[in-house]
Amino acid sequence: MFRYFSRFILNTALFTFIVTLSLVVLFRFVHPPFTTFMVIKKIQKGFFKYTINYQWVDLKEISQQAAFAVVASEDQRFFEHWGIDVTAITKAFKRNQKSRKRLGGSTLTQQTAKNLFCWPSRTYFRKAVEGYFSLLLETVWGKRRILETYLNIVELGPDVFGVEEASHHYFGHGAKSLTREEAALLAAILPNPIRYDAHSPSDYIRQRQTQIVWQMQMLECRSEVKKLFKLSGEKGR
C-alpha cells in the first residue's frame, strides 16, 4: 500500500513538472493569449459580458521608460535575484510586524508568475506555486522575457491589461511613445490600479510618481539595464 501510494505521488509530481515546464517553455516563444487572472475575472464578472482590453506588443515596441518605471517601483533588485528576493521578503516581514500597512516583498518575476499561472489567494500553497513558477521563469525565460511579459499582462486599470492598452487608455498613444513622467505615473498606480486612477491622480500618486522618476534616473546608469536594452550608454526619453 505504501509503495503504491509513493509511486502515485512520484508519478503525479513528475507529470505536474512536465506539464508546467512545457507551459513555461511554450510561453518562452509564444505570446500568452490570456492569463489565469484574466480568465478568473471573466468568470467572476460574466464570461460573455466582461471585456478584457489586452494587446501584446514586443519589448522593442515599448518605451524603455516603462521598463525603468516598473523596476524602480516594484523590484529594484530585479537584476540581482533569481526570482525570489529573500532580502526584500525579510524587510517586508519585519516592517509588517511593526506597521498595520502591509508591505509586499514579491519580485517582478513572482508577480508575472502569479498573474500568468496562479489564482488570487493569500494562502501559503498559492505562494509556493508562485515561487515554483518563478524559479522556472528565471531558468527558462531570463530577465528580458520576464520583463516583456510583465509589461504586457500587468493590470493597470479596470479591464485594462498591459502598458500598450494603458498608454492608449490614459494618454491617447502607444506604449512606444511613453515619456518618463507618463511611465512613472503608470507605475505609481500599480499597488492598486483599481483604486488609483492615472486620469485623475491624487496627491499621494503624484508624490509616488515624483519619487519613481528620481529612482528611474538612478536606474538608467546601471550596466545591467544598458545591457538588457542594448543602450550602449544612451538614455531613453
Asked if residue 237 is part of any domain, the answer here is no
CB 34 within 8 A of CB 52: yes
Number of domains in the chain: 2
Confidence of residue 232 (pLDDT cuts 50, 70, 90): very low
Verify that 20 and 108 share a domain, yes or no: no
Q: Is 205 found in the same domain as 89?
A: yes
Considering the domain architecture, whether residues 18 and 49 belong to the same structural domain is answered as no
235, part of any domain: no
Q: What is the pLDDT of residue 101?
A: 59
DSSP letter assigned to residue 157? E
Do 93 and 190 sit in the same domain of this protein? yes
**Domain span at 25:** 1-30
Tell me the C-alpha distance between 138 and 193, whole Å.
26
193 and 109 share a domain? Answer: yes
| 113: Cα within 13 Å, side-chain hemisphere | 27
Q: Average pLDDT of 54-79? A: 94
Per-chain mean pLDDT for the chain: 88
pLDDT tens track for 136-146: 999 999 999 99
The residue whose grid cell reads 525579510 is: 90
Strands 155-157 and 53-54: what pairing?
unpaired
Please tell me the distance from the alpha carbon of residue 236 to that of residue 196, in angstroms, as a whole number. Answer: 27
Do 41 and 148 lie in one domain? The reply is: yes
Mean pLDDT of 204-228: 87
Residues 3 and 37 in one domain: no
Residue 55 lies in a domain: yes
Per the rule left: phi > 0, alpha: psi between -120 and 50, beta: everything else, 86 is alpha
